[in-house]
Homo-oligomer: A and B are copies of this chain.
Amino acid sequence: MRQLKAKWLEMTTPQATKTAVLVIGGAEDKVHGREILRTFVARSGANDAHITIIPSASREPGIIGGRYIRIFEEMGASKVELLDIRDREQCEDPNFKESLANCTGVFLTGGDQLRLCGVLSDTSVMEIIRQRVRSGELTLAGTSAGAAVMGHHMIAGGGSGESPNRSLVDMATGLGLIPEVIVDQHFHNRNRMVRLVSAIASHPDRIGIGIDEDTCAMFEKDGWMQVFGKGSVTVVDPTEVTHTNEPNVGATEPLTIHNMRMHILSHGDRYHLYQRTALPANYRISN
C-alpha cells in the first residue's frame, strides 16, 4: 500500500513535460475536444513541443500527415515536421536522423502495421526513437497501425466470429517499444477480443492490451498505464494461467486457456505493467 501511495502521488503530480508512450486505438477525435492528441502535444512539451510525424504506415502519407501537421500546429506546437519515409534507405538519411534526434514528440499514423515495420524495423531512424523513448527524452504516440507496432510480438491481421484458435490471428514482429505487451486496436469496435485471446494463448509471457477507438492507453516510464478517452482498454493477463492446449492442437482447433485474468478499464483507470494490478479512476488514499 505504501508503494501504491508513492506511485499515486507521482501520478497526480503535474508532469506536463514528462515523456510517455501513448497507444491509441485508432479513430481518435480530430475535430472536437481532441483530448488524446492534445495530451500528446502537452506531454511533448506543449508550446515548446517539436513534433515529428511518421506517416509510413499509410498509403496516403501526404494527406494523412498534412492533417496531423495542421492539428498539432493549431494546438501550439513550436515545430511540426513530416518525415515522409517510404523505404528503408531513407531511414539512414542524415536530415531525418537529425529531426528525430532533436524532436520532443514522435507520432506514428495509422495504415498498415506490416508496412510500417517493413520500413522502420532495425534502421538508424528506429534506433534513435527507441533509445530516446527508453531514456525518457521523447514522447511517442501511435494510432491504429501505429499502435499495433508497439509490442515485440505484433498482431498483423486476423478474423473474428469463430472459437479462439491459432489460425484466427496473424502474428509478426513489431517495433518492440513496449515489448511486454501485445496491442490490438479498434478493439471492441471490430470485435477483436477473440483474436487477442488467441494471440495471448501463443505468447503467455506477454500481456494483451485491446484499445477501443478514440481511446488511449498512456504508458509512463514507471510502469503505470492510464486510460483516457471515449471507450475502454481491455487487459488480458495470462500470468496465472494453469493450462492451455496451445502447444498441442492444430492451427484451427479450438484453444483451451484456463485462468486468464481480464480487466476492462475506462477513463481514468490505471494498470501497472509489472505489478499487474488495476486501480480505479477515483482511487484515493485517505490517510
Residues on A lying within 8 angstroms of B by beta carbon are 160-164, 188-191, 193-194, 197, 201, 212, 215, 230-232, 236, 242-243, 245, 253-267, 269, 278, 280-281
Contacts and interface: CB of A to CB of B under 8 A. Distances in A.
A188 B161 contact: yes
Contacts of A191: 160-161, 191, 193-194
9 contacts: A160-B191, A162-B188, A188-B194, A191-B191, A197-B262, A212-B254, A256-B264, A256-B281, A259-B261
Contacts of A255: 232, 264, 266
B254 A232 contact: yes
Given A261-B259, A261-B260, A254 B267 contact: yes
Given A161-B190, A188-B162, A193-B194, A266 B262 contact: no
A65 to B, nearest CB: 29
Nearest to A263: B258
Given A194-B191, A232-B164, A265 B261 contact: no
Contacts of A188: 160-164, 194
Copies of this chain present in the complex amount to: 2
A134 to B, nearest CB: 29
Given A230-B254, A243-B280, 14 more contacts: A160-B191, A162-B188, A163-B188, A163-B212, A201-B264, A212-B254, A231-B254, A256-B265, A256-B269, A256-B281, A258-B264, A258-B280, A259-B263, A260-B261
A163 B231 contact: yes
Contacts of A260: 261-264
Given A163-B231, A163-B232, A194-B188, A266 B278 contact: no
Contact of A242 (B161, B278, B281): B278
A160 B255 CA distance: 22
B193 A280 contact: no
B266 A256 contact: yes
B163 A280 contact: no
A122 B261 CA distance: 38
Nearest to A188: B163
Nearest to A266: B254
A188 B254 CA distance: 11
